[in-house]
Chains A and B, each alone.
Chain A
């Protein structure tokens, strides 16, 4: 069981590297933002699998904090794209 979870963890880390490809290569600015948004969601899955492997529960806290920070970052970037100021 532990080996199987290891394989799933490596697959998940490889998928986040794929998002890095889109961030680096993306032809326009919104493409890079899409990559960053999806990367923030994939990290939560990595944290969940690591919390099963190590049997520690505080790693899920890192995941929750990462979701909220990624959400705020995405909203800020979307505001930047529409050309508005941040206090509007």
Chain B
């Protein structure tokens, strides 16, 4: 039962992230919203798998998968957004501040 609660929370966070990937106006906004929400959602689903299986081989695999997912997705998103800035994509029209522009001079 507690595993179903965790999986429901995870799917809800994934839903919010995918609404963000459709609706937000800018590449930077899209990646920021989607990475945070989807990483937390999938970690929550894997935690639900741990609670469902108890102490067994499947729960060990899920516990190993959680830190791998956490670090891989965040590091990948950082590299991707840095590459996007160097590629020359402009910020959206409503953006007000660009600190990275002065930092890389």
- Chain A residues contacting B38 (CB-CB under 8 Å) are 38, 41-42
How many inter-chain residue pairs (CB < 8 Å) link A and B?
Answer: 145
In whole angstroms, how far apart are the Cα atoms of A82 and B81 in the complex? 10
Q: How far is the CB of A86 from chain B (nearest CB, A)?
A: 13
Count of chain B residues with a beta carbon within 8 Å of a chain A beta carbon: 49
In whole angstroms, how far apart are the Cα atoms of A19 and B21 in the complex? 8
Main secondary structure of the interface of A (DSSP, over half): helix
- CB pair B69–A15 under 8 Å, yes or no, is no
Chain B residues engaging chain A, CB cutoff 8 angstroms: 3-4, 7-8, 10-11, 14-15, 17-18, 21-22, 27, 30-31, 34-35, 38-39, 41-42, 45-46, 48-49, 52-53, 56-58, 61-62, 64-65, 68-69, 72-73, 75-77, 79-80, 82-84, 86-87, 89
Chain A residues engaging chain B, CB cutoff 8 angstroms: 1, 4-5, 8, 11-12, 15, 18-19, 21-22, 28-31, 33-35, 37-38, 41-42, 44-45, 48-49, 51-52, 57, 60-61, 63-64, 67-68, 70-71, 74-75, 77-83
